[in-house]
C-alpha cells in the first residue's frame, strides 16, 4: 500500500484522488487558479474534506469558475446561492468569491494572466519543504504566504489571509509539501494540465 501524507483520510477515495493527482502539482491555468482561490476561501474554518465533497456543485453554481461570469453575478444570483444547501452558505465567503473574481480580472489585465502574477513570486519554480513528518510539522503560513496575502489584499481581494494563501500555495503547487514518508516525496511532480 502506498504511503501518503498524514492529512489524507485514507477512507475517502475523493481525498486520495485529490492528494495523488492534484495537490502540490504546479497549476498554470487561470481558471483552475481561480477555482482553487474560491474553494480555499470557502474552506476557511472548515475541513478541506467538506469542500471536496461540494466541489462539483460549486463548479456548477459558479459558472465553471469562469471569473468573468462570476464577477457579473447579480444580487439575486448571490441570494439564490445563499439558499443552496449544496454550497457553504456563508454570505461573506460567497460575496468574497464574487468580488475576488473582479480583482482576479484586474490582475489578468495587468500581468496578462493570473498565472504570471502568482508564479512571479516564485521566480517560476515551486519550493520544496523538507522534513515534514507529522501534522505538527506543517507550517500554517510563511513569510512568502504573508507577502502574497498582503499584495492580494492591497489589490482588493478578501479571504486571502496568510494561512489561506499558504493552503492555496500548496493546492496549486507553489509549494511541494509532501511528507517524508509519502510516496510522492522528493519527486519532481509534473504540472497539472486540466481543460476547464
Please indicate whether residue 48 is annotated as part of the active site.
Answer: yes
**Span 108-163, pLDDT tens digits:** 999 999 999 999 999 989 998 888 888 888 989 999 999 999 999 999 999 999 99
Give the separation between CA 174 and CA 153, rounded to whole angstroms.
19
Q: Tell me the pLDDT band of 104, cut-offs 50, 70 and 90.
A: very high
CA angle 171–177–180, rounded 5-degree value: 145
pTM: 0.94
- Which cell numbers in the block locate residue 164? 489561506
In this prediction, what percent of the chain has a pLDDT beyond 70? 95
Residue 22's contacts (CB-CB under 8 Å, 6 or more residues apart) are: 171, 192
**Span 41-100, pLDDT tens digits:** 999 889 999 999 999 999 999 999 999 999 999 999 999 999 999 999 999 999 999 999
Give the separation between CA 42 and CA 159, rounded to whole angstroms.
8
Mean pLDDT of 15-33: 95
Give the separation between CA 155 and CA 124, rounded to whole angstroms.
21
Candidates 15, 23, 35, 40; catalytic one: 40
In this prediction, what percent of the chain has a pLDDT beyond 90? 85
Burial (0-12, 13-18, 19+ Cβ within 10 Å), 155 = middle
Please indicate whether residue 18 is annotated as part of the active site.
Answer: yes
Q: Tell me the pLDDT band of 195, cut-offs 50, 70 and 90.
A: very low
Model pLDDT, residue 90: 96
Model pLDDT, residue 192: 64
Please indicate whether residue 40 is annotated as part of the active site.
Answer: yes
Amino acid at each position: 500500500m502506498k504511503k501518503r501524507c498524514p492529512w489524507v483520510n485514507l477512507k475517502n477515495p475523493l481525498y486520495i484522488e485529490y492528494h495523488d493527482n492534484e495537490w502540490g502539482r504546479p497549476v498554470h491555468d487561470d481558471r483552475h487558479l481561480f477555482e482553487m482561490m474560491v474553494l480555499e476561501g470557502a474552506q476557511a474554518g472548515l475541513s478541506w474534506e467538506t469542500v471536496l465533497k461540494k466541489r462539483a456543485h460549486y463548479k456548477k453554481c459558479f459558472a465553471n469558475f469562469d471569473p468573468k461570469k462570476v464577477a457579473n453575478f447579480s444580487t439575486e444570483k448571490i441570494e439564490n446561492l445563499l439558499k443552496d444547501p449544496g454550497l457553504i452558505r456563508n454570505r461573506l465567503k460567497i460575496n468574497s468569491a464574487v468580488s475576488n473574481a473582479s480583482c482576479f480580472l484586474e490582475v489578468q489585465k495587468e500581468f496578462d494572466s493570473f498565472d504570471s502574477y502568482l508564479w512571479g513570486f516564485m521566480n517560476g519554480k515551486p519550493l520544496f519543504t523538507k522534513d515534514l513528518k507529522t501534522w505538527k510539522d506543517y507550517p500554517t503560513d510563511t513569510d512568502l504566504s504573508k507577502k502574497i496575502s498582503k499584495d492580494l489584499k492591497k489589490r482588493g481581494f478578501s479571504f486571502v489571509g496568510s494561512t489561506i494563501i499558504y493552503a492555496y500555495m500548496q493546492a496549486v503547487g507553489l509549494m511541494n509539501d509532501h511528507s517524508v514518508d509519502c510516496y510522492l516525496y522528493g519527486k519532481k511532480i509534473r504540472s497539472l494540465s486540466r481543460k476547464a
